[in-house]
Amino acid sequence: MTGDGGRRDGLDEHAVLLVAGLADLALSTVGSALGTIRGLLRRSDAAQLAADAERDLMARGRLALDRYAAVPPAHLEILAQQVLARRAGDGD
């Protein structure tokens, strides 16, 4: 039984260390992002930079929608077109 208790304590400690590491990583990332945003807001061309970012995001959104929202052609429709193409080829 004591072997299970030691193993359980080790797992708890492992989980706590992982959570603490993730929290530290998140805080440092947020801090770095805030510093970057502050630097961008001090720029004189902030309006142009924001407009460029908006255009880039819209283009990225358009590409994502085209990639994931496009409906593939119907399978039976493709087969019917292939049959018609073969028949047209045989008739020549």
- Token reading at 20: 């603490």
User: Are residues 83 and 50 part of one domain?
Assistant: yes
Task: List, for residues 7-35, the tens digit of each pLDDT value.
Answer: 677 888 888 899 999 999 998 999 898 88
User: Are residues 22 and 62 part of one domain?
Assistant: no
User: Are residues 89 and 55 part of one domain?
Assistant: yes
Whole-model pTM above 0.75?
A: no
- Token reading at 9: 């304590």
User: Are residues 77 and 56 part of one domain?
Assistant: yes
User: Are residues 28 and 61 part of one domain?
Assistant: no
Q: Give the domain extent around 31.
A: 1-42
User: Are residues 51 and 84 part of one domain?
Assistant: yes
User: Are residues 37 and 53 part of one domain?
Assistant: no
Q: Are 46 and 40 in contact (CB under 8 A)?
A: yes
Task: List, for residues 31-90, the tens digit of each pLDDT value.
Answer: 898 888 888 778 788 788 888 989 999 999 988 887 777 777 788 988 999 999 999 987
| Number of domains present in the structure of the chain | 2
Residue 1 pLDDT grade (very low, low, confident, very high; cuts 50, 70, 90): very low
